Structure 1
Amino acid sequence: MSSDFWAGYISGAIGIIIGNPLDLVKTRLQAGSSVPTSIRTTQNIRSQFDSATSLVRGAAAPILGYGALNAILFVAYNRTLMTLAPSVTDPTNPEGVPLSQIWLAGAVGGLASWVISSPTELVKCRAQLSSHQSISSWTITKDILRRHGARGLYLGGAVTSIRDSVGYGFYFWSYELCKRFMSTKDETSSQAAIKILLCGGIAGIVTWASIFPLDVIKTRLQAQGSPIQVSPTNQPLLRPTASEGRVLNALGITKEAYRAEGIRVFYRGLGICSLRAFIVNAVQWATYEWIMKTLNQDSLMTT
């Protein structure tokens, strides 16, 4: 495997481990009435973190899936960027490349990663909205496959693909823009490390701010039929959560949410998401660039 694959995989898995507790809160704030009553209040959400296992609820699927997603994302981004700008030899330092090409390469990378992100997001979302701690990501996955087949794992796939493409376009664009703005001559290694952390964190915030309404719609769409109990029989683990038991599409979800709560519903949880995004992406970018440099140096030494 290439160095950017492993750098992307490891940094993605680390990001999920760090950011999962705040992601749990963000998902429940976005889901609104789709969350079971027993965990809907702030007090009960806080109580979910009383045990060590609650800190990683719903993280099993993302740790496996998001590592692969991040690997595909960075590989697709790097290859697309080098196709658009053949002069680029080091995708981690694309000096002189127009920012529009960087955005396009990021959008292509995001679209490529959708194959993994859509089912991963669905399973994670339903695990996080469960009121029963014993429901695992694997249990949810098996139930979806049993009832709907492989196609069921791509509920909300269209919204997720748009979210990923637009979001990752801004992700790489804002990261590179920030790096160029903060670059100085003769910077020390510590200054370079701080720059990567700050730029990674800022890129995470910009990304989520650009696509947060889409993410709210995606969460509410996937929350329809979220798991509420573990059944010892063959009874379904899922229940409809749309109004009057109907399963709504993305447009229906949007109309219903706006009619019930107004425009602010599409930005609920943005604050906690921005905090998570800064921390996670600062660490992810620092990890990614460090692994890339380490692996590339090892490769040069062996040749």
Structure 2
Amino acid sequence: MSNFQLEDFAAGWIGGAASVIIGHPLDTVKTRLQAGIGYGNTLNCIRTVFRRESVFGFFKGMSFPLSSIAVYNSVVFGVFSNTERFLSQHHCREPEASPPRTLSDLLLASMVAGVVSVGLGTPVDLIKIRLQMQTQPFREAHLGLKPRNAAFGKQPAYQGPVHCIATIVRTEGLAGLYRGASAMLLRDIPGYCLYFIPYVFLNEWITPEASTGPSPCAVWLAGGMAGAISWGTATPMDVVKSRLQADGVYVNKYKGVLDCITQSYQKEGLKVFFRGITVNTVRGFPMSAAMFLGYELSLQAFRRDHTVTSS
């Protein structure tokens, strides 16, 4: 346990807060496109949200993820960094040597981080999506009713994050907070592999060999590209997860992951699983760039302070 470092968790918390502030407006657009109706494309969705709910509509549900996703990213980055460091040093025969990063170690550490992320991230994503979706048009599929909108003349289902949590627990039990967990697991295990691994290799490729460490520009570019790759490829399962978690605001349509996939495909075809891929990819760049930049800069600051204190 001598290789365990708490600085990774603290730096992940700072990076997570930065990523939420940067990415939440586009996250709202992504969720509306994937689980809502009446939006033709990304630009139409942006115009519709702005016209109906003003600029504040893009920040619906942000207070909860801002306070919780920072903790979530703290754990994910802390678990990944410490797991990868443990695996690398386990293979290294010389304790004082700087262990090389191997693809197998990065892959295993990413998978561990993906599994851990589901336990913390599912309730966070669920609350965020429920709050984002409660003011958009919805259709009661099994009742044949016309689309309705809860924003006009009707009381929203949830009055805030705390009320949303209480309502879900009361109506669906504690298990209701983990609705969509299976889809999130299928999204996040490969998703984090395509998040951390491209970042590490792109960062090393961009950074000159003579440099003592990556520059902020290299971190920003590598982090942004890794985020775009990860979120773009994760879109099909992200669609399923968003629909499962949005389901239940007013009615329940899906019995599980396979039922959601089947119903979505039968009604909207294969293209439904790529809904929001543009905004997912575009949003992934600034969010991840802010995440990794906040993480790396914070980590460097913590280590400088530690060095000064030790001397």
| 1:85 equivalent in structure 2 | 88
Aligned residue runs from structure 1 range 200-279, under 5 A: 200-226=223-249, 239-242=250-253, 247-279=254-286
Question: Quick check: 193-202 or 162-171, which moved more?
Answer: 162-171
| Unmatched tracts of structure 2, length 5 or more | 93-97, 136-150
1:9-56 superposed Cα distances (whole Å, 9 cap, x missing partner) = 111012111111110000010114499xxxx966422325624x3342
Query: Which residue of 198, 206, 217 maps to 2:221?
Result: 198
TM-score normalised by L of structure 2: 0.82
C-alpha distance in 1, partners of 2:203/2:45?
40
Query: Which residue of 16, 20, 26 maps to 2:24?
Result: 20
TM-score normalised by L of structure 1: 0.84
Letter of the aligned partner of 1:156 in structure 2? G
C-alpha distance in 2, partners of 1:263/1:147?
33
Aligned in 2, Cα 1:21/1:141: closer, same or farther, shift over 3 Å? Answer: same
C-alpha distance in 2, partners of 1:28/1:248?
21
The offset of 1:260, in angstroms, is: 1.5
Maintained 8 Å contact 2:16/2:73 = yes
Maintained 8 Å contact 2:50/2:57 = no
Query: Which residue of 200, 205, 208 maps to 1:176?
Result: 200
Alignment length (residue pairs): 277
Maintained 8 Å contact 1:145/1:153 = yes
C-alpha distance in 2, partners of 1:151/1:122?
12
Letter of the aligned partner of 1:122 in structure 2? L
Aligned in 2, Cα 1:294/1:173: closer, same or farther, shift over 3 Å? Answer: same
Query: Which residue of 163, 185, 188 maps to 1:164?
Result: 188
Maintained 8 Å contact 1:11/1:287 = yes
Q: Secondary structure at the match of 1:152?
A: helix
The offset of 1:95, in angstroms, is: 6.8
Letter of the aligned partner of 1:50 in structure 2? S
| Unmatched tracts of structure 1, length 5 or more | 227-238
> Quick one: percent identity of the two aligned structures?
30
C-alpha distance in 2, partners of 1:297/1:188?
14
The offset of 1:252, in angstroms, is: 0.7
The reply on whether 1:58 has 2:61 as its aligned counterpart is: yes
Maintained 8 Å contact 2:33/2:45 = no
C-alpha distance in 2, partners of 1:20/1:222?
17
The offset of 1:88, in angstroms, is: 9.2
The reply on whether 1:29 has 2:33 as its aligned counterpart is: yes
Aligned in 2, Cα 1:270/1:138: closer, same or farther, shift over 3 Å? Answer: same
The offset of 1:279, in angstroms, is: 0.6
The offset of 1:76, in angstroms, is: 0.8
Aligned in 2, Cα 1:3/1:257: closer, same or farther, shift over 3 Å? Answer: same
| 2:138 equivalent in structure 1 | none
Maintained 8 Å contact 2:12/2:77 = yes
Aligned in 2, Cα 1:124/1:48: closer, same or farther, shift over 3 Å? Answer: farther
Aligned residue runs from structure 1 range 115-126, under 5 A: 115-126=119-130
Question: Quick check: 116-125 or 247-256, which moved more?
Answer: 247-256
